[in-house]
Every structure is written in C-alpha cells, then in structure tokens.
Amino acid sequence: MSFNRREFVKFLGGSTLALGPLSLTSCQQKTGALKGIDFSSKDEFILAEGFEYDLLISFQDKISDKDTFGSNNDYTCPVAINDSEVILWVNHEYPDLLVGSQWSEGIERTKEMIDQERYTVGGSLLHLKKEQKIWKLVFNSPYNRRLNGNTEIPLISERPIEGKKTAIGTFANCAGGITPWKTILTCEENFHNYYGDRTFPEGKKVESILEWDKFYDYPPEHYGWVVEVNPMSGAAKKLTALGRFSHECATCIPTKDGRVAVYSGDDKNDEFLYKFLSDKGDSLEKGELFVANIAEGQWISLSWEKQDILKKTFKDQTDVLIHCREAGRLLGATPLDRPEDIEINPATGDVFVCLTNNKKRGNMHGSILKISESGSDHSSMSFKASDFLVGGESFSCPDNMAFDKAGNLWFATDISGGSMNKPPYSKFKNNGLFYVEMKGANAGEVIQIASAPKDAELTGLSFSPDGETMFLSVQHPGEKSKNLKSLTSHWPRGGESIPLSSVIQIRGPLLKG
C-alpha cells in the first residue's frame, strides 16, 4: 500500500497542523518580536533580523599538517570535551565534482580522479574551542582526523560478507545520530553510486555512476550500513544489525526496559521506515530490526527466525540485513515518500520523520510525519501516525531537523538543484531554514529564519552543548554550474571565487543556554 500526500492526509482523517491558518506565507511569518524572512533567490546566506553567522570551515581547508576538510559537508554532531571545547563530527556525503576532480559527463574517468574523490568523502573530526562566543578550529589537534573512502572499517556481522569481515572506506554519508554513550553514528546513503550494486535475487551487477569500481573491486554489500565512530579515537565499525539501505539517519533513544531504539529512514521513493532495538543498553552490535506498517500502526520484525517468508527467500539473517528493501516489501511494509531525517520530541517522545517528496506519486512538497509509540515506549510494537506539517504553502521538501534546548523544532529544506526556482517550486526560491514553536500561542507556526545561497542545500543542523550556537552545513552552493568559467554561485568568499561547501555557526535570539 502506498500513499500520496492527499491520500495520506485522508487516511489520517484529514487532520494536520499545517493546513489552514498555520500555513503562513513567508511574508506573514512572525512570532512575537521575531520576524521571519521572505523567500529569496539571491546568492547569499540570508538570516532573519537579530541573527548572525560566522564561517567555521570550508572544503579543502587544512585541519592539520596532513589532512584537509572534506567535500559536501552534511550531518554535524558536537561532542563536549568540556564547557568550551567540543569535537565536531561532520559528514562528507559525496565528491565535489566541480571543484575537486572537475568531473563531468563525457570525460574519461581516471584512477587519479577517483583516488582524489575517495579521500574527500567520509567524515571529519574537528577539535573546536570557543573564544568570545565564536567556535574556532584547534589546528593540528590530535583529535583532528579524517575517515574516508580508503579507511579500513570492521564489519560487525554474524558471518563474513562477500568473504570479508572488513570493508574499505565509508562514503555517501548523509545524516546520522549519537548514541547514549556519545559515539557518532554516520549513515551511508546512496552507496550504489560508487561501486554499484547487485540485483536480488539474480545477483546481476548494476553499474555505478562514479565508476570507482573501474579501478577498485570492492563488494557493493560492504556499503549502505550505519557506521559507529568513537570521536575521541576515530575508531569505527559498520553495524550490520541495523540493516543495509540508503540510510538517511540513525536516531537513538533509550527504551523503558534499558535498551536502545534506533530509527532510520530509507531515502528513496516508496521505501520504508525502520526501527532497531538493541539487545543491550550500551551496544548496537546485536539486536532486532523492524520495519513500519503505517496503515496498521505496527512494527514488523525482520527476524529470519520469526518470519517463514524470510526463511523461504533468504539464506540467513545476514542475507536479510543485506537485502532489507526486499525483506520489508515481502512483509507488507508501507512505502513512504522518501523518509529522510528523524528526530524525537524531547517533551513528548514523539518521533518526527521528514518525508521529503515523491514526485512520481504527485507529492511535490513533502511533509513531516509524527509517530507516537504506544505507551510512549520506544520498544513498543504499535504506534499511531499523523501528519504534523504538510508542505506546499510555507515550505517545500523538508529534509533535516533538530530540536533545540527549549524543545522547539528547526528544519531545513531540500528542493533539488534542478527543480529550484522552477514550477511548482518557484515561489519558495532557494532552500531555507525554518523554525516551529512547539507550545504556546504560536505553536505550529512555520517561520523562515534563513535562506541558502544559489543551488545550495542547508543541512546538518546541530547545537553546541550550551545551546547558544547552531552548527549548519551549507552544501553544494553552485552545484548547477556548467564549469569553472560559468559559475552560478560564488559563496562563501564572493567576487569571482569558486563556491565551496562549508560549515557555519549561527547565533541569535532563539539560541540561548
């Protein structure tokens, strides 16, 4: 069973906070003394009145004498060292094909190009120190390090995968999460673009887009996992128990019985929402994976031992985990409209899921889905689903979210570069950052706080431990440029400079300790 937006709202009884008076246009947006901004198509990072930002780091900046900051930064997550120092994890989702290897269609791919790209992806660990309200990189800190497409990472699985217990590299790192024991979870999303994939059950090779497999014969099954990273040491491992698919995020919360629940979406049209329940409260290496049937409000076990149809189709649990999409479809999981980031309301425990869009089903603008677990228990096997916000009026294509220290919701949008400033997205102009109060007279009102530069996506929202700073990734400005002589953006340096994905830090009236 699949839903477009109209069918889904009807299925839920037609009730949504985003319809009617709460779907305000940008020029109407204000909460008390706070006034939002209008939609903008300018090649600038624009903030609402009272807010300010500083550039933290950009692609190719040095973090030490031996390493540089990677490309297309996405998810960010600060881990406190003390009151004024953090280690900031930053995902690097895919190579900067404009600035890095200068790749384009029709150009013969070389090993040198691909080696360059393999280094720029993965993630960065950055030691930051706060000085007079501004966070600064501690250059050459022993905490500064890179994980990339060359890093050897153990596969935590019940048996070897394609004959190996170690994978080479992590890439396609989109969003992520943080465990209760303060390790980072970074998620491999569109892994198939690098070493291809294989069809199931035929095992026919699907060719990659970036042609890394032209020079490196690594199994596709080694990618598409959640990777756990120790921010202090950089040690990493791939957690196969959480399943293999285009992971957008891995959002953790302790359960009432002392375990950990991890929520993750598969960012592709008509794919599924997943929940993992750990066996132990301090490890994600073993546990049980479930997939959501939204129509029935049920979590369905993906256990090979429990499901006869899985026993008939797959050879063991590892095989199920490698082929989560096929297993979920066999068990009647509900296809969704690109489930992306997931965050948990700290006040209620409700699970919020960005459903970005599903153009082929007529859902152009997406929504934010709310999952309320039975008994407010994240180990529950049943839940209620409802729309929290529906796109199309005040925003379009929600992607990443975060709750601040006051419990209010922030989210960023991802209208694709090819669709931005074109119908039906014309009125929204560039992508933006939005704020939603969760209680009080203005609860549910959507306010635009920032507008991105041309072609860029805002992503990776996170907050410093004191709550006074938002870290935000400005990803792929100028990505629709045809070449280096015909640039659509010059952000962040302006003039005739090359556009660079960067992490910024924002301060303002809503960001208080």
Mean of all residue pLDDT scores within the chain: 92
| Under 8 Å between Cβ of 354 and 398 | yes
Listed range (21-25, 69-73, 245-249) with the worst mean pLDDT: 21-25
Residue 40 has pLDDT above 80, yes or no: yes
Q: Which two tokens stand for residue 384?
A: 């209620």
Specify which residues 48 forms β-bridges with: none
Q: Would residue 513 count as lying in a domain?
A: no
H or E segment at 175?
A: strand 173-178
The CATH number of the domain holding residue 30 is: 2.120.10.30
Higher pLDDT pick, 99 / 131: 131
Which whole number is the average pLDDT over 279-308?
Answer: 98
Residue 485 has pLDDT above 80, yes or no: yes
| Under 8 Å between Cβ of 162 and 219 | yes
Q: Would residue 243 count as lying in a domain?
A: yes
Q: Which residues contact 108 (CB under 8 A, 6 or more apart)?
A: none
Residue 488 has pLDDT above 70, yes or no: yes
Note the helical H segments in 428-512. none
Q: Would residue 451 count as lying in a domain?
A: yes
Measure Cα distances from 204 to 9, 199, 316, 463 in Å.
Answer: 39, 5, 20, 44
- Report strand pairing: 236-239 vs 152-156: parallel
Which whole number is the average pLDDT over 402-431?
Answer: 97
* Confidence band for 405, pLDDT divided at 50, 70 and 90: very high
Rounded CA separation 53/62 (Å): 21
Q: What angle do CA 22, 25, 29 make, to 5 degrees?
A: 75
| Under 8 Å between Cβ of 347 and 438 | yes
* Confidence band for 32, pLDDT divided at 50, 70 and 90: low
Q: Would residue 198 count as lying in a domain?
A: yes
Rounded CA separation 98/458 (Å): 19
Q: Would residue 362 count as lying in a domain?
A: yes
Q: Would residue 69 count as lying in a domain?
A: yes
Classify the C-alpha dihedral 225-230-236-240 as positive or negative.
negative
- Which domain covers residue 499, as residue numbers? 5-507
**Number of residues in the chain:** 513
pLDDT, tens digit, 9 for 90 and up, residues 163-195: 999 999 999 999 999 999 999 999 999 999 999
Looking at the 3D structure of the chain, how many domains does it have?
1
Residue 222 has pLDDT above 90, yes or no: yes
Which whole number is the average pLDDT over 318-328?
Answer: 98
Listed range (37-46, 134-143, 382-391, 477-486) with the worst mean pLDDT: 477-486
* CB atoms inside a 10 Å sphere around CB 356: 29
Question: What is the per-residue pLDDT for 23?
Answer: 35
Share of the chain above pLDDT 90, in %: 89
3-class state of residue 505 by DSSP: strand
Question: What is the per-residue pLDDT for 52?
Answer: 97
Specify which residues 61 forms β-bridges with: none
3-class state of residue 430 by DSSP: coil
Question: What is the per-residue pLDDT for 484?
Answer: 85
Q: Would residue 193 count as lying in a domain?
A: yes
Residue 236 has pLDDT above 70, yes or no: yes
Question: What is the per-residue pLDDT for 160?
Answer: 98
Question: What is the per-residue pLDDT for 108?
Answer: 84
Tokens 């997943």 correspond to 274
H or E segment at 326?
A: helix 324-330
Note the helical H segments in 96-243. 111-120, 192-195
DSSP 31-98: ETTEE-PPP--SSS-EE-TT-EEEEEEETT-BSSSS-B--SSEEEEEEEEEETTEEEEEEEE-S--TT
Question: What is the per-residue pLDDT for 21?
Answer: 28
Peptide bond into 424 cis (omega under 30): yes
* CB atoms inside a 10 Å sphere around CB 163: 7
Helices and strands (DSSP H and E) totals, the chain: 6, 35
Residue 513 has pLDDT above 80, yes or no: no
- Three-class secondary structure assignment of 90-120: EEECCCCCCCCCCCCCCCCCCHHHHHHHHHH
Question: What is the per-residue pLDDT for 24?
Answer: 34
DSSP state of 480: T
Q: Which two tokens stand for residue 139?
A: 């250059």
**What single letter denotes the amino acid at residue 464?**
S
Question: What is the per-residue pLDDT for 98?
Answer: 78
Residue 15 has pLDDT above 60, yes or no: no
| Under 8 Å between Cβ of 477 and 44 | no
| Under 8 Å between Cβ of 87 and 78 | yes
* Confidence band for 101, pLDDT divided at 50, 70 and 90: low
* CB atoms inside a 10 Å sphere around CB 322: 25
3-class state of residue 12 by DSSP: coil
* Confidence band for 77, pLDDT divided at 50, 70 and 90: very high
Q: Which residues contact 381 (CB under 8 A, 6 or more apart)?
A: 290, 298, 299, 374
* Confidence band for 512, pLDDT divided at 50, 70 and 90: confident
Q: Would residue 512 count as lying in a domain?
A: no
Question: What is the per-residue pLDDT for 482?
Answer: 84
